[in-house]
Structure 1
Amino acid sequence: MLVSKKEIEVRYAETDQMGVVYHANYLVWMEVGRTKLIQDLGFSYAQMEKEGIISPVIDINISYKKPLRYGETAIIHTWIEEYNGIKSVYGYEIFNSDGDLAVQATSSHVCVHKDTFRPVKFKKLYPDWHEAYEKAKK
């Protein structure tokens, strides 16, 4: 199983009035982790979008364990939890720089045509990408 890792310094603008990272910012960091994982596998989500294919979130599950604060470093671990050729489920763990788990999450995605939102068979459209996901999944 491939686990991609990405570090992000927590910026002041990402915190709320309590001084902790605002919950929605973790979703942005998950996207950063997903993009890094795709790059680590040798592919480009941006290129796929240029070809008219997008991958919307269809489900998200997130559990907040420990707050991150301004000045800390978030370390995002991302992997392919499940993949069946149509739907991809990504897993995430976000840690602080001390190695404490801050967030556990999953997000589910399908690939669709940008104009019609009709699902595509990823295996058929992107066979190399499909094969890489099969090898990299949990």
Structure 2
Amino acid sequence: MELNDKNQPLRWHLHPLRVRYQETDRMGVVFHGNYVNWFEIGRTEFIRHYGMPYEQIERQGLMLPVVDLDCRYGAPAKYDDRVLICTAIDSYTPVRLSFRSQVRRIGEHEQYPAEWAEKVLPGEPLVEGGTRHVWVNDQFKPVRLDKSLPELYGLLKAAYAGNLTEGKG
């Protein structure tokens, strides 16, 4: 059974970044491939925020490769912009996990909490997309997270439902 109640608002994790010069192209805007890297940063920080960094997951013999990706570009980020990488669990099963991601420009001195449950995200929308993943072991065979690492499955379930706050892992 896949859990994704489209009537339930997404529980977002917000991670601020500043656009570095090396991330821009000759036009002075962020190179399109960097948004995919930022999606990964968002996923990594989402998992860390809720108490189980990827490194700890991998020590348990589990990996979470991307099997599908979508990305829609609305407006470019530019050198030295402050952006928020917004990441939420879109759906999950014991074997699969899907994230929604947005990159949004924010003002120089704007500050936001790491967790966001409001319907409208802060900042100006730039890019949105998502990634779909499958839990695998070190042989790249699919595994059930609820059996292989039930603590993490419980953390993801609670984070999705909004019943978990930072570091309760």
TM-score, structure 1 normalization: 0.93
**1:51 shift after superposition:** 2.5
Is 1:62 matched with 2:71? Answer: yes
- Identity in percent: 33
How far 1:113 sits from its partner (Å)?
Answer: 1.3
Deviation at 1:75? 0.5
Q: 1:131 aligns with which of 154, 158, 161?
A: 154
User: Within 1, Cα distance between the matches of 2:69 and 2:75?
Assistant: 19
- Pick one of 14, 19, 24 that aligns with 1:10: 19
Unpaired segments of 5 or more residues in structure 1?
none
Q: Which residue of 1 aligns with 2:128?
A: 104
CA distance in 1 between partners of 2:50 and 2:80 (Å) = 30
Report how far residue 11 of structure 1 moved.
0.5
After superposition, what is the alpha-carbon deviation per residue over 1:15-61, rounded to whole angstroms, capped at 9, x for unaligned? 01111100110111111110111012111111111232211100001
Aligned length: 137
AA aligned opposite 1:108: R
CA root-mean-square deviation: 1.3
Residue 88 (structure 1) aligned to one of 76, 84, 97: 97
Q: Which runs of 5+ in 2 are unaligned?
A: 1-9, 108-122, 162-169
Distance 2:11 2:94 in 1: 18
Task: Name the SS of the counterpart of 1:32 in structure 2.
Answer: helix
Query: 2:43: which partner in 1?
Result: 34
SS at match of 1:107: strand
Q: Distance in 1 between matches of 2:153 and 2:62?
A: 14
- Equivalent residue number for residue 142 of structure 2: 119
In structure 1, how many angstroms separate the alpha carbons of the residues matched to 2:154 and 2:85?
24
**Where has structure 1 moved over 3 Å in runs of 4 or more?**
none
Compute the displacement of 1:8 (Å): 0.8
Letter of the 2:134 partner, please give it: V
Q: Distance in 2 between matches of 1:91 and 1:134?
A: 16
**What letter is aligned with 1:125?**
S
Q: Say if 1:2 and 1:40 are closer, same or farther in 2 by CA, change over 3 A.
A: farther
Partner of 2:62: 53
Where is the strand percentage greater, Structure 1 or Structure 2? 1
1:105 offset after TM fit, Å?
Answer: 0.8
